[in-house]
Amino acid sequence: ETKDSFVSTIPKVELHIHIEGTLTPALKWRFARRNNMILTHPRTGVDFTTLEEYEESHDPMKARKGERMNNSEETLSFFEAYYGGFDVLRTEQDYYELAMHYYEHAAAMNVRYCEISFDPQGHTRTGTTWGTMMAGFRKAQGEAEKTLNVKSAWIMCLLRDLSPQSAMEHYLVALNYRHMIIGIGLDSNEDGRPPMLLEQVFARAREDGFHLTAHCDVGKTYPLEHILQVAAQIGHTGADRIDHGLNVTESPELMELILRKGIGMTICPWSYMRHQPMEEVYERIRTLFDAGIKIAIASDDPAFMEDTWILENLLVAKRFCKFTNNDVLRLVKDAVDVCWAPEQVKKDIL
Ligand code: ES4
Ligand code: ZN
């Protein structure tokens, strides 16, 4: 599976990656030490004394499979593990190293352009300022473009489980970073949180010229109404892209709408395999592809999914959807099509 030189060498764009989802236990351990912090288990309050111990708690899947943590109270949910990690990010240098760590992986996989999501509300609530966070990201972004040949832009994601007021407050600060931020996204826990709850911000962002995207159906199946809101309603007329949303295959009408509007879908196979039968996942990806919908294969949260990056996601999609090299080429072209880079940048990718 790793010896597929076509998939390895083809130039790529990555449109769905959470920078916080690249925070590996080893990185967290390094930042924690540097910031004189002791890492403790969020449930039990017990201090971690070794990196190995910490690694085991970090990956909820790994923990569940392991015998020691099996079904125990100590097993963290994805969101507990994910947001728990934000704490160790304190300085501009931390944000810079976090982003460089991703850019280096991206360069090694021949990613030439990426749109990287970040969750500012998760950082301001741990006491980090926008200035610290964005200075680190900015420095890494410039360096990646210059020395690694990876261009990029940022997607500011709103946490849908926080208030519309918090979303608007953060949006207004994001306006100071328009030179970096290309789009507004929506992520975090979808339980009881339809996208239209944040319509005021999406409408404003659309008027201000940002691109829009939103997560649907992560981890479980939510009402198709959420996808309809993303495709047709948020930001007045609907978003440019949908992140995930695999259960759209249950509605021919919605699929038709997405196809007709040219809405791109970012699809991250490794994110679904833990929640859904494999065959169902690949059948659905194939259905979208065969319908002509533009899908961009991406990685979501590599550090929380057994270290699977865009390359591994493309490889597993190719294998189980039985994509040919030509199909993979179409996947990459479609991803370029639905990315938000300037036309000249798009032209130079393939
Ligand atoms: C996320 Cl809903 C969701 N799924 C995966 N990763 C995430 N990061 C923030 N929200
Ligand atoms: Zn995501």
Q: What is the pLDDT of residues 100-119, one digit of tens each?
A: 999 999 999 999 999 999 99
Nearest protein Cα to ligand 1, atom 1: 188
17 alpha carbon – ligand 1 mean position (Å) = 9
| ipTM confidence | 0.97
Contact 313, 328 (CB under 8 A): no
CA distance 142 to 145: 5
pLDDT digits 0-9 by tens, 3-39: 899 999 999 999 999 999 999 999 999 999 999 999 9
Q: How far apart are the first and last CA of the chain?
A: 23
326 alpha carbon – ligand 1 mean position (Å) = 31
258 versus 66: the higher-pLDDT residue is 258
Q: Where residue 67 falls among pLDDT bands split at 50, 70, 90?
A: very low
pLDDT of residue 68: 43
> With a 6 A CB cut-off, is 18 part of the ligand 1 pocket?
yes
Mean pLDDT value of segment 156-173: 98
Q: Decide: pTM greater than 0.90.
A: yes
pLDDT of residue 76: 81
Contact 136, 99 (CB under 8 A): yes
CA distance 4 to 9: 9
Which regions of the chain carry the CATH code 3.20.20.140? Answer: 5-22+92-349
Write out the CATH class of domain 5-22+92-349.
Answer: alpha beta
Residue 203 neighbours by CB distance under 10 Å: 16
Atom of ligand 1 nearest to the CA of 18: 8
What 3-state DSSP class applies to 212?
strand
Atom of ligand 1 nearest to the CA of 301: 6
Q: Is the pLDDT of residue 189 over 80?
A: yes
Which of 54, 10, 14 is CA-nearest to residue 32?
A: 54
> With a 6 A CB cut-off, is 243 part of the ligand 1 pocket?
no
187 alpha carbon – ligand 2 mean position (Å) = 7
Q: Is the pLDDT of residue 1 over 60?
A: no
pLDDT of residue 154: 99
Tokens standing for residue 187 = 């992520």
Which of 300, 215, 321, 318 is CA-nearest to residue 14?
A: 300
Mean pLDDT value of segment 251-269: 98
pLDDT of residue 62: 61
77 versus 345: the higher-pLDDT residue is 345
Mean pLDDT value of segment 201-219: 95
> With a 6 A CB cut-off, is 58 part of the ligand 1 pocket?
no
pLDDT of residue 135: 99
pLDDT of residue 70: 44
